[in-house]
A and B are shown apart, each in its own frame.
Chain A
Amino acid sequence: MHGRMPSQGGLSVEGGERLVKGKLLTGNVAAAAGAMLARVDYIPAYPITPQTEIIETIADWVREGKMDSKFVQLESEHSMLTAAGAASLTGARVFTATSSQGMLYTIEMLYNVSGWRAPMLLVNVSRGVAAPIVLEPDHNDVLAARDSGFLQFHSETCQEVTDLVLLAYRVAEDKQVMLPAIVNLDGFYLSFTREPVILPEQKKVDSFLPPYEPVTPMRASKPVSRGSSVFEGFLYSYFRYNQHGAALKAKEVFQKAAMEYEGLFGRSYGPVEGFMLDDADYVLVMSNSFTALGRQAVKRMRERGVKAGLLKLIMLRPFPSEEVAALLRGRKVVSVFDQNLAPGSGGILYPEIAGALYHVRGRPSAILPVVGALGGKQTTAKELEAVFDEMIAIDREGKIPVPLFLMRGDELDRVKKMVSIAEGKS
């Protein structure tokens, strides 16, 4: 399936009650459009579902002459990331994409490319990881890259995909940062779902995102060694602490860039985003496309007279501890919805939120861990309402929260029924 060339603005779409401006694009084409608007030089690629539409779209645009870039398909994701990082070090603006097993296969190179301080961009289209093999999303793939030194931006909508691609380049290539970045979108729920996307005007993008200026690139006239070995811990620590400092710096750089972006394009971004937070007593923390469901649950709770709110994480690396703490202090109970699972521990983001709150005065009395929507498992707003009910119960009864693992009775019944059919019992 080839994506269609997006044109500027134009198309107006009747969307629900109001007139929505923009062009209907899948999340995948929105990512490809971001790459085109960023005028990337080089796209090393490797196919994997559900990301493939991104690289197909770009391959098409390059061959049609709509992108002045070189596209090359490698023989594995590991090689793809190696080529991407090496090209970035040589001075090219590099874009690539992966999903799931592909992300896992890149892991060795993620650490390398980040250590090289090569500010390339990797779009991850989330999909659960095998075994068992599955196609629909959860975040174990992108969170496997959590500690690699890549910056991470997570998107809820197709519009955010395009915007975050442009913002991510701006932050990654900032001289104070010089780190690679990942932009995440959910497979299927965003990748194959058409939403109205307003594509920024190219001229304005060019002023927001000037050409990439590499630091000490490999040049015939001025040779450099990159990726050199170090054999003593003090040297290794020196490089690692520098990497950490640069990653921390990325938050401020992102905030400044986002303000400029808002001035140019009218859409506002921050490391986190609140929904009905002002007076909220009970707050659900979420990320990515399922946040839309969380918003729905919050609205229903409000209709029931409960002061519910939501905190969406956009920037996961660097982790926005101060923003999380500032927005969650003074709440009665908070719940972290983890669409991922670390077997034997629980949700991966839970300890990060808890850590951000530990030293905060007026921290919530309890933080309820919730794991759900694994492998893209259909979840209803009602289930998230139940999470709010549990927060209220914890608050009223002073209970210690017990982790919730979302799975409905009718789903368990379906499992049992399928097994019994397979066993020839019914």
Chain B
Amino acid sequence: MAATTRFRTLKDMPTMDYISPGNTLCAGCGGILAVRIFHKVLGPNVAWVNAAGCMTVTMSYPLSPLKSNWLYTAFASAPAGAQGVRDALDVLIAKGKIPASEDMKVVVVTGDGAAYDIGLQSTAGAIDRHLDFYYLCYDNEAYGNTGFQVSSSTPYGSATKTTPATASYPFGNAEKKKDLFEVWRSMKAPYVATLANSHGVDFLRKVEKGMAIRGPKLYISLAACPTGWGFDSRESVELEKLAVATGVWPLKESVDGVVRHTVVPRALTPVKEYLKTQERFSHLFEPEEKTGAIAVIQESINGYWREAGAREGFQVKVPEPIARGAVELTGA
């Protein structure tokens, strides 16, 4: 990480908040916490451009918990909204119609439904045009605002309202989570990073790093979701910590396409410890433990870290593989 960082320990986290407490989001929402930390680093002059999701409902007329600008666009096109705001600021400043002091950082904020699914085309367009903007995706791995339906971010084995675990579909979602980090990286975005609220210094430094880069800066922030995932809201940050410790949520960045893991656990905690904390995975343990499905999840994590370690020259001690047994993996 850059030697010039102003963030050494959590004590360096800026004390200024740009979001008032007591907003309408759920207690323990990992999404609004990410927005809050992100904003601390960016400072006051920000224009948030939003797509439909949980953040949309908290900016509710005539109130706003934000001390900065906000524009709700539509589900599919927040990056295009950012294009309009950015271009207008550039034109108006260039023509002398507004002073340069009115310039702002333009930040798209959406959930995973918009980022992974319906808004991917407009994000691709903004990356192609090398738009100077930030994208903060708070990823709670499903359509949370509509009550937790599957998105292409939902991991294998998670039950959602549209992929419920049943006798004929015992594992919930049978598809793998889309690798949005790699999708964005392949589009030649100059900076892509993952974030977790539990790893504050890593979080702060990545936003700081993005601020020095012109062009698209895209972040995927794990957003523990008490209502969707089914856990006690006070456990939110602990749960994200566990996601990093088990290797489920790798913390990494890509600078001009070169990937580096920024937090490398010495030894991964078995993923079972993470899965059993959440209602969305409860069918993997009740009425009987679905060893095969858990084995598949553990294998994919182990494989990921072995590959990453080989590429970047580090070693992570991975948990012993679990015997799969004769369990059918994908359901009916």
- Whether the Cβ atoms of A86 and B88 lie closer than 8 Å is yes
- Within A215-257, the residues touching B (CB, 8 Å) are 218-221, 223-231, 235
Measured between alpha carbons, how far is A50 from B107 in the docked complex, in Å? 35
Most buried by A among B78, B121, B125, B128: B125
- Whether the Cβ atoms of B92 and A92 lie closer than 8 Å is yes
Measured between alpha carbons, how far is A221 from B98 in the docked complex, in Å? 11
Q: Which residues of B contact A (CB under 8 A)?
A: 44-45, 47, 49-50, 56-57, 59-62, 64, 66-74, 76-85, 87-92, 95, 97-98, 101-104, 121-122, 124-125, 128-129
- Whether the Cβ atoms of B89 and A82 lie closer than 8 Å is no
Instruction: State how many angstroms separate the Cβ of A75 from the closest Cβ of chain B.
Output: 3
| Contact A72:B73 (CB < 8 A) given known A92-B92, A218-B104, A229-B61 | no
- Whether the Cβ atoms of B87 and A70 lie closer than 8 Å is yes
Point out the residue from B85, B91, B121, B129 that lies within 8 Å of A86, measured CB to CB.
B85
Measured between alpha carbons, how far is A223 from B104 in the docked complex, in Å? 10
- Whether the Cβ atoms of A225 and B69 lie closer than 8 Å is yes
Chain A residue numbers with a CB within 8 Å of B98 are: 91, 219
Please give the number of chain A residues whose Cβ is less than 8 angstroms from any Cβ of chain B in the complex. Answer: 43
Most buried by B among A42, A76, A227: A227
Interface 0/1 of A88-108, CB less than 8 Å to B? 111110100000000000001
Measured between alpha carbons, how far is A235 from B102 in the docked complex, in Å? 31
Instruction: State how many angstroms separate the Cβ of B39 from the closest Cβ of chain A.
Output: 12
- Whether the Cβ atoms of B64 and A225 lie closer than 8 Å is yes
Measured between alpha carbons, how far is A231 from B61 in the docked complex, in Å? 8
Measured between alpha carbons, how far is A88 from B67 in the docked complex, in Å? 22
- Within A403-425, the residues touching B (CB, 8 Å) are none
Chain A residue numbers with a CB within 8 Å of B125 are: 74-76, 79
* Interface residue? A44 (CB, 8 A): yes
Most buried by A among B59, B62, B73: B73
A-side binding surface: helix, strand, loop or mixed? mixed
- Whether the Cβ atoms of A68 and B95 lie closer than 8 Å is yes
* Interface residue? A41 (CB, 8 A): yes
Chain B residue numbers with a CB within 8 Å of A69 are: 91
Ordered by A's residue number, 18 sampled pairs between the chains whose C-beta atoms are within 8 Å are: A41-B92, A44-B83, A75-B128, A79-B125, A80-B80, A86-B73, A86-B83, A88-B84, A90-B89, A91-B97, A92-B91, A94-B84, A220-B69, A220-B104, A223-B68, A224-B69, A226-B71, A229-B60
Instruction: State how many angstroms separate the Cβ of B97 from the closest Cβ of chain A.
Output: 7
Chain A residue numbers with a CB within 8 Å of B87 are: 42, 44, 70, 72, 83, 87, 92
| The 7 nearest A-B residue pairs measured at CB | A86-B84, A75-B125, A79-B80, A227-B72, A90-B88, A83-B84, A87-B84
Measured between alpha carbons, how far is A78 from B64 in the docked complex, in Å? 27
Point out the residue from A76, A92, A227 that lies within 8 Å of B121, measured CB to CB.
A76
| Contact A42:B68 (CB < 8 A) given known A78-B80, A87-B84 | no
Measured between alpha carbons, how far is A80 from B87 in the docked complex, in Å? 12
- Whether the Cβ atoms of B88 and A91 lie closer than 8 Å is yes
Measured between alpha carbons, how far is A80 from B81 in the docked complex, in Å? 9
Instruction: State how many angstroms separate the Cβ of B109 from the closest Cβ of chain A.
Output: 13
Point out the residue from A78, A90, A91 that lies within 8 Å of B76, measured CB to CB.
A78
| Contact A41:B121 (CB < 8 A) given known A78-B80, A79-B80, A227-B71 | no
Chain B residue numbers with a CB within 8 Å of A231 are: 57, 60
Chain B residue numbers with a CB within 8 Å of A351 are: none
Point out the residue from A92, A94, A108, A229 that lies within 8 Å of B72, measured CB to CB.
A229
Instruction: State how many angstroms separate the Cβ of B120 from the closest Cβ of chain A.
Output: 11
Chain A residue numbers with a CB within 8 Å of B57 are: 229, 231
- Whether the Cβ atoms of B83 and A90 lie closer than 8 Å is no
| Contact A109:B74 (CB < 8 A) given known A41-B92, A92-B91 | yes
Residue of chain A at shortest CB distance from B125: A75
Interface 0/1 of A195-227, CB less than 8 Å to B? 000000000000000010000001111011111
Residue of chain B at shortest CB distance from A239: B61
Measured between alpha carbons, how far is A283 from B76 in the docked complex, in Å? 46
* Interface residue? A112 (CB, 8 A): yes
Measured between alpha carbons, how far is A221 from B44 in the docked complex, in Å? 9
Chain A residue numbers with a CB within 8 Å of B59 are: 225, 228-229
Measured between alpha carbons, how far is A41 from B88 in the docked complex, in Å? 8
Point out the residue from A79, A94, A221, A229 that lies within 8 Å of B77, measured CB to CB.
A79
* Interface residue? A314 (CB, 8 A): no
Instruction: State how many angstroms separate the Cβ of A93 from the closest Cβ of chain B.
Output: 10
- Assuming A91-B97, A112-B74, A218-B47, what are 7 further A-B pairs, CB within 8 angstroms? A76-B122, A78-B74, A86-B71, A90-B89, A220-B103, A228-B62, A229-B57
Instruction: State how many angstroms separate the Cβ of B227 from the closest Cβ of chain A.
Output: 18
- Whether the Cβ atoms of B84 and A228 lie closer than 8 Å is no
Chain B residue numbers with a CB within 8 Å of A86 are: 49, 71, 73, 80-85, 88
Instruction: State how many angstroms separate the Cβ of A74 from the closest Cβ of chain B.
Output: 6
Chain B residue numbers with a CB within 8 Å of A223 are: 66-70
Chain B residue numbers with a CB within 8 Å of A218 are: 47, 69, 71, 85, 104
* Interface residue? A84 (CB, 8 A): yes
Measured between alpha carbons, how far is A220 from B44 in the docked complex, in Å? 8
Instruction: State how many angstroms separate the Cβ of A396 from the closest Cβ of chain B.
Output: 54
Measured between alpha carbons, how far is A426 from B35 in the docked complex, in Å? 70
Instruction: State how many angstroms separate the Cβ of B89 from the closest Cβ of chain A.
Output: 6
Instruction: State how many angstroms separate the Cβ of B74 from the closest Cβ of chain A.
Output: 6
Measured between alpha carbons, how far is A79 from B80 in the docked complex, in Å? 5
* Interface residue? A187 (CB, 8 A): no
Chain A residue numbers with a CB within 8 Å of B102 are: 219-221
- Whether the Cβ atoms of A225 and B83 lie closer than 8 Å is no
Chain B residue numbers with a CB within 8 Å of A82 are: 73-74, 77-78, 80-81, 83-84, 122
